[in-house]
Amino acid sequence: MFEFTEDPTAEVAHRPWPLPGGPWIMAQRWNNLLFAHWPVKTESIRPLVPRSLMLDLHDNTAWVTITPFYLSHLRPRGIPAFPGVSEFPELNVRTYVNVGGKPGVYFFSLDAGSALAVEGARALFHLPYFRADMSVKTVTHEAIEYRSNRTHSSAPPATFSAAYHATGAVKPPAPGTVDHFLSERYCLYAIDSRQSVYRCEIHHRPWPLQPAEAEIADNTMAQAAGITLPEQSPHLTFARQLDVVVWPPTRITT
């Protein structure tokens, strides 16, 4: 059974607000994660984000992020992780919002290589998860090859193919920097079929970010969500591993 070597909620000084009340309900580990960030015009994504969510901007600029990683050690609290069920690739497309003074993440899509995870997350967390045919290969200790082809029948087609690796030492992002703005977020927001807003809180240690390089050979993930990315190269960072705990989603009034 996967257990944390230390209490995952012991370090909280970096959080922008206190831990939520009640116990966390789920644990997971994010591995070999790439952040690929693009600045976008606010007016280009405002129509794509529910009006009940206020866009969160950095220097008056909105951002869209594509995040490939490998999820492992997924388990409910008190239950062991099961091989073959508790790990799979995941690929997210997201932007940044703020509701009630709590900055968080809004997902345009979350592709996963597990049909069970897709159905569970759609039902329990109101998130736009989609099934995909995905592969992740560690070429060397440093380099990752990642491929994804969405297979979800009711969703627009979307593909992603990239090779990426870290290029420097671990350095947690400093407050006030764009990396801190884009990564240090401790909740996500989701909308159900009735347009109700849900907040799901998470917790982890400060992001162990490293500078990164990537060769992105194929990327229609943002396009599938109706987003046109700028021509410029994305801002890239990498994280080797991060343990995360998750609380149940809570319906909020906006």
In the structure encoding, which two tokens stand for residue 161, read together? 């193919």
Question: For the chain, what is the domain count?
Answer: 1
Q: Give buried/exposed letters for 200-219 (b at 16+ CB in 10 A, else e).
A: bbbbbebbbbbebebebeeb
Element (H, E) at 220: none
pLDDT given for residue 254 in this prediction: 60
pLDDT given for residue 4 in this prediction: 65
pLDDT given for residue 120 in this prediction: 87
Residue 86 lies in a domain: yes
Residue 44 lies in a domain: yes
Residue 180 lies in a domain: yes
Q: What is the residue range of 148's domain?
A: 26-252
d(CA 232, CA 176) in angstroms, rounded, equals: 23
pLDDT given for residue 81 in this prediction: 73
Residue 2 lies in a domain: no
3-state secondary structure of 153: coil
C-beta neighbour count of 78 within 10 angstroms: 9
d(CA 127, CA 191) in angstroms, rounded, equals: 8
d(CA 104, CA 188) in angstroms, rounded, equals: 5
pLDDT given for residue 139 in this prediction: 86
Q: CATH number for the domain including 104?
A: 2.40.400.10
pLDDT given for residue 27 in this prediction: 94
Parallel, antiparallel, or unpaired: how do β-strands 62-76 and 143-150 relate? unpaired
Q: Are 27 and 2 in contact (CB under 8 A)?
A: yes
For each of the chain's 254 residues, which pLDDT tens digit applies? Answer: 456 666 788 899 999 999 999 999 999 999 999 999 999 999 999 999 999 999 999 999 999 999 999 999 999 998 877 766 789 999 999 999 999 999 999 999 999 999 888 988 888 899 999 999 999 999 877 899 999 999 999 899 999 999 999 999 999 999 999 999 999 999 999 999 999 999 999 999 999 999 999 999 999 999 999 999 999 999 999 999 999 999 999 999 76
Residue 124 lies in a domain: yes
Residue 13 lies in a domain: no
Residue 7 lies in a domain: no
Per the document, the length of the chain is 254
Phi-psi region of 226 (alpha: psi -120 to 50; beta: other; left: phi over 0): left
pLDDT given for residue 5 in this prediction: 61
